[in-house]
Amino acid sequence: MREWFINRLEIPPRTVLNRKIPKKAFFTQADLSTSEKEMFTSQVEGIYLLSVMNEQSTNIPIYQDADFHYAEVVWIYVELRTVQNINRIIGAVHKSIPNPVVLIMSSTEGKVLLSTSHKRLNKNDKTKVVVEQPIITDWFNPQEDDTPYSKLLNALVVSNLSFDNLHSVYDDIHQWIRCEEVIQLVGTIPTSSEKCKVAVSILSNVQKHRKEVEQLQHEQKGQLDFGAKMDIYIKIKLQEQQVNEQIQYIKELC
């Protein structure tokens, strides 16, 4: 499957390594807890360094500003024995590598998920990074044709990414991974990178309105006065209307 992904995403040959990384390397590179080390030992079959994209191997410029220093984009492939504690394993992998990681997790059933996480410079120590909350897709079969996920993989083909600098390369991948939520929401995916970024911003509004609905529903349950209950009911319906309108905007982008 590793070679299949390298070919499917057209990862440039000059960047491909596809070599196994000893699990102990992660223990020494990051401050992993005892339980995280145990998860790597018992639940991970193998970890592979698929590719390292840097200025030397791609001619894409390094990116550096007050918040980011992106000199490499690293592709990591993890073969799992079990999908238990998957979010903790993903977080540990991102934490273990200071460079931005495109993470491919593979299950024993042949399904995969993808994950990215931007890494900002630590304001107090520029030699360290702050790992943002990872974005994680749902599990999917990568070898199925003519599905929303096959379209997602088409978008992630390296030649389709922005080559302004290594941050823009990674952010393109990151935005498409975030856009996977659109598949879960409307069953398809936007048709261009620009529409993907618009859809991602709309997703934030959908999440905000849905959270408001949950809070109102919780408030309504504790309300004894009928008139007050009706007022909350109306507010809920208004929020749900906003959600439906935002979803319709997303559909128009797909």
- Summarised one tens digit per residue, pLDDT across range 227-254 is 788 888 888 888 888 888 888 888 888 8
* In the chain, where the domains are located: 2-164, 194-253
Place of tokens 């929401």: 185
Residue 242 phi/psi, 5° resolution?
-60, -40
- Residue-wise pLDDT tens digits, 95-145: 889 899 999 999 999 999 999 999 999 888 777 889 999 999 999 999 998
- Spell out the residues 6+ positions from residue 234 whose beta carbon is closer than 8 angstroms to its own: none
3-state secondary structure of 112: strand
Query: Is residue 29 over pLDDT 70?
Result: no
| Model confidence, pTM | 0.86
Mean pLDDT comparison of 3-7, 82-86, 230-234, 246-250, highest-scoring range: 3-7
pLDDT at position 226: 78
